[in-house]
Amino acid sequence: MRVNILKFMQKLRNIAIIAHVDHGKTTLVDKMIMAGNLLREASKTGELVLDNNDLERERGITILSKNVSVIYKDYKINIIDTPGHADFGGEVERVLNMCDGVLLLVDAFEGTMPQTRFVLQKALQIGLKPIVVVNKVDKPNCRPEEVYEMVFDLMFSLEATEEQLDFPVLYGSAKNNWMSKDWRNQTDNLIPLLDAIIEHIPAPEKLEGTPQMLITSLDYSPYTGRIAVGRVHRGTLKKGMNITIAHRDGTMEKTKIKEVHTFEGMARQEAESVSSGDICAVVGLERFEIGDTICDFEAPEALPTIAIDEPTMSMLFTIND
Ligand code: GDP
C-alpha cells in the first residue's frame, strides 16, 4: 500500500532564480514552462506539437509571478523569484530558505552585476547548490567565456565552497529557446538546463509527522484576501484542516485552513493536500504574519522564525573639535 502511494508522489525540486534586471529571467522562465508543457503533450500524443500561434500567444502576456512551476518528466520544479536587491528585512533569506538550489542567470555580454551580489552571497552562505546560466549568447558581441570567469571569480570572492565552485554552467539563448553545455554547440531546446536542475539540485527533504509550515511570503486574492505562502516543512496540510498558528510573538491561535493550493505553471491550483517539501499557498486564514508557523492543532510546534528587522541606521553626533 505504502509503495503505491510513494509511486504516485511527484518528485520535486525547489530552486530560486537570481538575475539582474533585463538579463532574461522572465523570458527563460516562460520558455521553461512552455518546454515542460510541450514535452508533456508530446508524451501523450507521440508528437511534438510546436505551434507558433501558441508561442506567440503566450509570449508577452506571461509575467513572472513570485512562484511558478515547470513540470518536466515526472518532476515538478518550483521556481521562486528572488528580490533583485539587497534588503534588511530578511526577505532574501526567507525566500532562499524555501529552496535547495539556485539558478544564477547572467547576460553573456554584460556579465555579473553588483546588484545580484547580495542575494548570491546569501544563497551561498546557506549552502544552496548553484547552477549558472549564461544567457544571450546569440548577441553579436557576447563574451561567454569571460562571463563564466567573472561568475567563478565572484563566487570565489563570496567564499563559495569547493562544491559550490564546481557549479554546472549552461550557455544559450532564452529568447531563441535553447541551452547547451557548450555555447558554440547550439541546440534546439532547453532540455540540457532542465536535466541539469534534476541532476544537480538535491530533492527537498520529506519529513513525516505533524504539519509545520513557516509563512515566508504573502499572496493576495481579491476574492479570498491574504494568502500565506511557504514550504511545507513537515507533514501534510489539508483542505479544511484545523490548525494552530504559532505567532512570532509566541502566542498560539487555534483556527482552520479553508483551502490549500500549489503552484502549477503560472497559476495557483487548489489541492486536497500539500506535503512536506512542496511550496504551498494557504487560503482562509484571518490573522497571520510572515514568520508565523502553521502547525498542528493539538500539538503545535513553532519553527524558528527568521528575523524581520526594521532597516536601522545609527549616527554619531559629536562636538566639532
Ligand atoms: P528580466 O528583466 O530579467 O525578466 O528580462 P526579460 O526576460 O524581460 O528580458 C529582457 C530583454 O532581453 C527582453 O527584450 C528580451 O527579449 C531580451 N532577451 C531575453 N533573453 C534573450 C536572449 O537570449 N537573447 C537576446 N538577444 N535577448 C534576450
pLDDT in tens, 186-229: 999 999 999 999 999 999 999 999 999 999 988 888 888 899 99
**The cell 522564525 sits on which residue?**
305
Q: Is the pLDDT of residue 154 over 50?
A: yes
Contact 38, 125 (CB under 8 A): no
Contact 309, 90 (CB under 8 A): yes
Tell me the CA–centroid distance for residue 24 and ligand 1, in Å: 4
Contact 103, 120 (CB under 8 A): no
Tell me the CA–centroid distance for residue 284 and ligand 1, in Å: 37
Return d(Cα 224, Cα 215) in angstroms, integer.
Answer: 17
Q: pLDDT per residue over 262-300, tens digit each? A: 999 888 899 999 999 999 999 999 999 989 999 999 999
Atom number in ligand 1 closest to CA 20? 3
Residue 60 confidence class, pLDDT cut points 50, 70, 90: very low
Give, using CA atoms, the residue closest to atom 19 of ligand 1.
Answer: 24
Alpha helix stretches (DSSP H) within the chain? 2-8, 25-45, 52-58, 91-96, 117-125, 144-157, 162-165, 191-200
